[in-house]
């Protein structure tokens, strides 16, 4: 049986602004849930998925290409994690953000990101055709002679 986890995540500034604007329009008490489930209690995984599907349906009116995409809570989590990784956030921070027990679980995001792999290749210099031989400097040779 999987243990349920409560996850708290910070919001992007734009998201926080929109949420504050929305709360001014639809005020609630500080102890009231912002996004309750159908019964008024905590929003379940199924309830969140239903709300996400509704949001995709509404957004697809302006962006019809969304209807061709598979969008789920997992896809959203994966997209945010990949975006964080591409932005240079350390993988251990991403693991904590996602609630993973270990950064090893998060490692698949590194493997999945072809853009980062391409940037790494672009940053490398092509190997020279002529093999070079290491030639130590005089101070290194003097040090080695003392051993």
The per-residue pLDDT for range 63-110, each reduced to its tens digit, is: 999 999 899 988 888 888 888 888 888 888 888 888 887 777 777 776
- The residues near 49 (Cβ < 8 Å, ≥ 6 apart) are 72, 73
Q: Is 50 exposed, middle or buried (0-12, 13-18, 19+ CB in 10 A)?
A: middle
Q: 112-144 burial, b for 16+ CB within 10 Å, e for fewer?
A: ebeebeeeeeeeeeeeeeeeeeeeeeeeeeeee
For residues 77 and 55, give the distance between their C-alpha atoms in angstroms, rounded to a whole number. Answer: 16
Q: If you search the block for the tokens 């349920």, which residue do you land on?
A: 4
**pLDDT score, position 4:** 60
pTM over 0.75: no
Per-residue model confidence as pLDDT tens digits over 13-29: 898 999 999 999 999 88
**pLDDT score, position 23:** 93
For residues 37 and 58, give the distance between their C-alpha atoms in angstroms, rounded to a whole number. Answer: 19
The DSSP symbol for 81 reads H
């Amino acid at each position: 049986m999987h243990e349920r986890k409560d996850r708290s995540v910070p919001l992007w500034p734009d998201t926080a602004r929109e949420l504050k604007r929305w709360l001014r329009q639809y005020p609630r008490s500080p102890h009231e849930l912002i996004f309750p489930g159908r019964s008024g209690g905590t929003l379940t995984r199924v309830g969140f998925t239903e709300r996400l599907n509704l949001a995709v349906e509404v957004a697809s009116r302006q962006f019809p290409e969304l209807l061709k995409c598979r969008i789920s809570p997992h896809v959203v989590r994966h997209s945010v994690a990949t975006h964080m990784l591409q932005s240079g956030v350390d993988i251990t921070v991403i693991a904590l953000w996602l609630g993973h027990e270990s950064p090893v679980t998060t490692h698949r995001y590194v493997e999945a990101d072809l853009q980062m792999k391409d940037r790494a290749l672009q940053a490398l210099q092509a190997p020279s055709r002529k093999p070079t031989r290491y030639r130590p400097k005089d101070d290194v040779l003097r040090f080695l002679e003392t051993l």
